[in-house]
Chains A and B, each alone.
Chain A
Amino acid sequence: MKPEALLHPTPAGLFCPIGRFHVDPVRPVERALITHGHSDHARAGHAKVLATRQTLDIMRLRYGEDFCGEEQAAAFGEEIDVDGVRVSFHPAGHVLGSAQIAIERQGLRIVVSGDYKRGIDPTCASFVPVACDVFITEATFGLPVFHHPDPKDEIDKLLTSLKQFPERSHLVGAYALGKAQRVIRLIRDCGYSEPIFIHGALAKLCDYYVGQGIDLGDIRPATIEKSSPDAFKGAVIVGPPSAFQDRWARRFNEPLIAFASGWMMVRQRAKQGGVELPLVISDHCDWPELLSTIEEIGPSEVWVTHGREEALVRWCELKNIPARPLHLVGYEDEGD
């Protein structure tokens, strides 16, 4: 059978007509398989949702009890039959609970990788390569310019800056799901044991990560009494980047804005965002990781979803690997 008969793009997202399900649909559908909890992949309002236990928990935290009609948890590696299509979930290494989804029928296997990375991340299970005929990859950082450095070197920059500017509050921008917890964990792994303050928007997810056995050390809410504006002198505060341009940031002493993101690789991106200390820490693959993953899995065909499809497709052409962009819309890199 042709791969397109098993899975093809539609305006609502990737659709499997035989199993009658969508993968990471951007509109409410009858049955959704969700790779991970970022809001552009996991949306509320589907009738049935199949995802990992942790992704389901995260969706409940973000959207409330009635985030879907009916939920079903998939364990990693477990084979599930959905209307005659064999479906299994495998770790993607992106954020807690993130999975690739293998879809198989009559000896044809397609793997939807969702978002993934290959680097070590103590806050989630590592990516497992799954042999397949069609590998569907993201391309968020699908340009030869993206080479993510060792995240610990990036955290060292933050710790150096804390020593150089001990009077300034260091505000570290990190998205609420995954990046924030990973950054806090990395800071701990680099030997920093002072309290880390967090913005209110991070509280629920940090609590959830801690409940899942990920030690974040002493984290406290970044709330303040009006009488002590110096309380955060030299402290590390983690929050969503949008909050730093808001009135919220005024409570801090001479704030120094850092931002943990793969986009920080490009200086102009950092400059435009008013970031003083860019930390290149990404939950996506960089260019060499995308290429080595494709070479390692060795699929007979590559489909590229969101990001910079054209460069990755071009590279596949040069390597004689059939590839095509899927031009899916609605995925906006919330996680980086």
Chain B
Amino acid sequence: MKPFATLLDRLVLTPSRNGKLTLLADYFRDTPDPDRGYGLAALAGGLDLKSVKPAMLRDLVLERMDPVLFQYSYDYVGDLAETISLVWDGTRKDEIDDEHQPRLSEVVTRMNSLGRTEVRSAVRDLLDKLDTSSRFAFLKLVTGALRIGVSARLAKQALSDMSGKDVTEIETLWHGLTPPYEPLFAWLEGRAEKPVLATPAIFHSVMLANPVETGDLEKLDPADYAAEWKWDGIRVQMSSYGGTRKLYSRSGDDITGAFPDVVGSINFEGVIDGELLVGGTARSNNPTRTFSDLQQRLNRKTVTAKMLDDYPAFVRAYDLLFESDLDIRAESFLERRRRLGDIIQRAPHDRFDLSDLVPFTTWDELDRIRIAPPDPVIEGVMIKRKDSPYQAGRLKGPWFKWKRDPYNIDAVMLYAQRGHGKRSSYYSDFTFGVWAETPDGEELVPVGKAYFGFTDAELEVLDKFVRDNTVDRFGPVRAVRAEPDFGFVLEVAFEGINRSTRHKSGVAMRFPRIARLRQDKLPRDADRLATLTAMVEAREG
């Protein structure tokens, strides 16, 4: 348990992606089987472990501790698992040495073999045998609250870093394997052949597109390419074989449980690539709804009947990877699409439709189509070579995405906060605002926060402005001067804008970033909230 606990302690406090990768790769390299496999499962969200209710933990700690002293401690620390991990030893002073603590694999096996009535004494016993930081890790695992900012994708990248194997290869295998992943590690370390998977109903790494950059298209013949709309939902993969039906996110996370409406309607076998959206399919003549509606359904483990009713989900199919168990990824895009069309034709009308092709003859014509799409939920066009095979990863050439141009506004810097890691000595997180009509006249209201988009040299300028013009401090946050004739104007670019009840201004931007420093402008020249509201309305059609 100790190596895993130490890893968690470091991961929680390490903001940088590279730092996390180093910590993870070192852990996978240095920790023996089967512990590292369970550690991997815990991080990637695939660990099956008997859960323990917080109330039982509280009971256990109060068996040996004064409730008043416990309450003082809990009030101070604020997190139940952490409080218990810290107070459990009572007045004991001697540390438990690392070698005599139960291993992670022992903890997992023991917890999962327990009968209902045995849980309480087993948890007590384990808490006695673990040291402070291992107790914390254990309690986080059994209460299912492991929030450490590591995605399954990052864990797989670390496996790739440690072994030199390609991450897409690891992803291809991933869903066919189970903890503690011993055959996977054996292959990664070159001690065994690549594991062979029994079922194709697993996640296959997806093919990604590159953004169109200046000059990219002039060299290409439009006749070689097909175009389709780029819908603003989330990219998914449906995998169905031998009665197993799964829905995966783009990165291979299993989201089957959150979309019973879609998964329950699958009446085909094979692997389909598509866009998950809410609203109605084109075939049912109901409109596709916005990303903010889709968000109501995302990041949930389960879903209520009302959610299913209010936000019905469907898949707009883009591509076919497997037709039944036949791998057709080497076929051309048009051929795969033809076969996909047949499958969708026979699939339930309200849950599946086929993404339309957009006819065009020249790049200029496609550009005009892209700028004025017929549906507000379209965020641009996809351009795919008609003869392209389906290849995992982001190859340059076969597929492009050509997004609608980002939105831009001029906003005024209101607050700044120091960044993390490399940026911890810089004010690099900026809250910006625009002018709004209030009962007291025109005032700047915060509309968003951005912490990237600028160069290092621009950061020096921003940081200096903050330090020289601080008017107030709230903990780590500084308020800066922002008056009609004095302040810092930032040009903010963003990908989309939605209504929001969570933000005071009533709007929320997607992916806001600082596009340019507008030292040539005064705050009085910045945009009005009405401009943003108009953008939302235009988007909602």
A residues contacting B by CB (< 8 A) are: 143-147, 149-150, 153, 164-165, 244-250, 254-255, 257, 265-268, 270-272, 274-278, 287-289, 291-292, 308, 310-311, 314-315, 318
Contact A144 B65, beta carbon cutoff 8 Å? yes
Q: What's the minimum C-beta distance from A142 to chain B, rounded to whole angstroms?
A: 9
Contact B425 A143, beta carbon cutoff 8 Å? no
Q: Known: A268-B77, A276-B13. Is A143-B72 also a contact (CB below 8 A)?
A: yes
Docked complex Cα distance between A284 and B201 (Å): 59
Contact residues of B between 10 and 33, Cβ < 8 Å to A: 10, 12-15, 19, 22-23, 26
Q: What's the minimum C-beta distance from B4 to chain A, rounded to whole angstroms?
A: 15
Residue of B nearest to A291 (CB): B91
9 closest residue pairs by CB, A with B? A145-B86, A249-B425, A144-B87, A288-B91, A311-B72, A145-B73, A288-B93, A276-B13, A274-B424
Contact B82 A266, beta carbon cutoff 8 Å? yes
Docked complex Cα distance between A182 and B91 (Å): 25
Contact B69 A311, beta carbon cutoff 8 Å? yes
Question: Can you name 13 A-B pairs with beta carbons within 8 Å?
Answer: A143-B76, A144-B72, A147-B86, A150-B95, A244-B425, A245-B425, A266-B77, A267-B12, A268-B78, A277-B10, A288-B93, A311-B69, A314-B66
**Among B182-190, B403-411, B415-423, B491-499, the stretch in contact with A:** B415-423
Residues of the B chain whose Cβ atoms lie less than 8 Å from the Cβ of A255: 422, 424-425
Interface size counted on chain B using CB atoms at 8 A: 40
Contact residues of B between 435 and 492, Cβ < 8 Å to A: 476
Q: Known: A145-B83, A278-B13. Is A247-B425 also a contact (CB below 8 A)?
A: yes
B161 at the interface (CB under 8 A from A): no
Contact A164 B418, beta carbon cutoff 8 Å? no
B68 at the interface (CB under 8 A from A): yes
Docked complex Cα distance between A266 and B83 (Å): 9
Residues of the A chain whose Cβ atoms lie less than 8 Å from the Cβ of B10: 276-277
Contact B418 A165, beta carbon cutoff 8 Å? no
Docked complex Cα distance between A289 and B87 (Å): 14
Residues of the B chain whose Cβ atoms lie less than 8 Å from the Cβ of A248: 425
Residues of the A chain whose Cβ atoms lie less than 8 Å from the Cβ of B68: 314
Residue of A nearest to B23 (CB): A164
Query: Could you say which of A143, A164, A265, A288 has the most chain B C-beta atoms within 10 Å of its C-beta?
Result: A143
Q: What's the minimum C-beta distance from B84 to chain A, rounded to whole angstroms?
A: 10
Docked complex Cα distance between A314 and B70 (Å): 11
Docked complex Cα distance between A246 and B70 (Å): 38
Which residue of B14, B26, B83, B425 contacts A276 across the interface (Cβ within 8 Å)? B14
Contact residues of B between 53 and 78, Cβ < 8 Å to A: 65-66, 68-70, 72-73, 76-78
Residues of the B chain whose Cβ atoms lie less than 8 Å from the Cβ of A311: 69, 72-73
Docked complex Cα distance between A265 and B65 (Å): 20
Other 14 A-B pairs with CB < 8 A, given A144-B72, A255-B422, A318-B66? A145-B76, A145-B77, A145-B87, A244-B425, A249-B425, A257-B424, A265-B86, A266-B82, A266-B86, A267-B82, A268-B78, A272-B476, A276-B13, A308-B72
B92 at the interface (CB under 8 A from A): yes
Residue of B nearest to A150 (CB): B95
Residues of the A chain whose Cβ atoms lie less than 8 Å from the Cβ of B82: 266-268
Contact B91 A287, beta carbon cutoff 8 Å? yes
B325 at the interface (CB under 8 A from A): no
Q: What's the minimum C-beta distance from A186 to chain B, rounded to whole angstroms?
A: 16
Q: What's the minimum C-beta distance from B349 to chain A, rounded to whole angstroms?
A: 50
Q: Known: A245-B425, A266-B77, A267-B82. Is A275-B72 also a contact (CB below 8 A)?
A: no
Which residue of B13, B76, B89 contacts A308 across the interface (Cβ within 8 Å)? B76
Contact B132 A147, beta carbon cutoff 8 Å? yes
Which residue of B23, B78, B424 contacts A245 across the interface (Cβ within 8 Å)? B424
Docked complex Cα distance between A247 and B70 (Å): 41
Contact B14 A143, beta carbon cutoff 8 Å? no
Docked complex Cα distance between A288 and B14 (Å): 31
Q: What's the minimum C-beta distance from A129 to chain B, rounded to whole angstroms?
A: 16
Query: Could you say which of A146, A271, A274, A275 has the most chain B C-beta atoms within 10 Å of its C-beta?
Result: A274
Query: Could you say which of A143, A267, A292 has the most chain B C-beta atoms within 10 Å of its C-beta?
Result: A267
Q: What's the minimum C-beta distance from B476 to chain A, rounded to whole angstroms?
A: 8
Residues of the B chain whose Cβ atoms lie less than 8 Å from the Cβ of A164: 22-23, 26
Docked complex Cα distance between A8 and B12 (Å): 46
Docked complex Cα distance between A170 and B14 (Å): 13
Docked complex Cα distance between A271 and B87 (Å): 20
Contact B422 A254, beta carbon cutoff 8 Å? yes
Residues of the B chain whose Cβ atoms lie less than 8 Å from the Cβ of A149: 95, 132
B193 at the interface (CB under 8 A from A): no
Q: What's the minimum C-beta distance from A181 to chain B, rounded to whole angstroms?
A: 25
Residue of B nearest to A146 (CB): B86
Which residue of A144, A244, A250, A254 contacts B73 across the interface (Cβ within 8 Å)? A144
Contact code string B307-320 (vs A, CB < 8 Å = 1, else 0) = 00000000000000
Which residue of A245, A314, A318 contacts B418 across the interface (Cβ within 8 Å)? A245
Q: Known: A144-B90, A249-B425, A266-B82. Is A314-B72 also a contact (CB below 8 A)?
A: yes
Docked complex Cα distance between A164 and B26 (Å): 8
Docked complex Cα distance between A310 and B418 (Å): 35
Q: What's the minimum C-beta distance from A177 to chain B, rounded to whole angstroms?
A: 24
Residues of the A chain whose Cβ atoms lie less than 8 Å from the Cβ of B72: 143-144, 308, 310-311, 314
Docked complex Cα distance between A270 and B424 (Å): 14
Q: What's the minimum C-beta distance from A167 to chain B, rounded to whole angstroms?
A: 10
Which residue of A145, A257, A278, A292 contacts B91 across the interface (Cβ within 8 Å)? A292
Contact A268 B19, beta carbon cutoff 8 Å? no
B520 at the interface (CB under 8 A from A): no
B365 at the interface (CB under 8 A from A): no
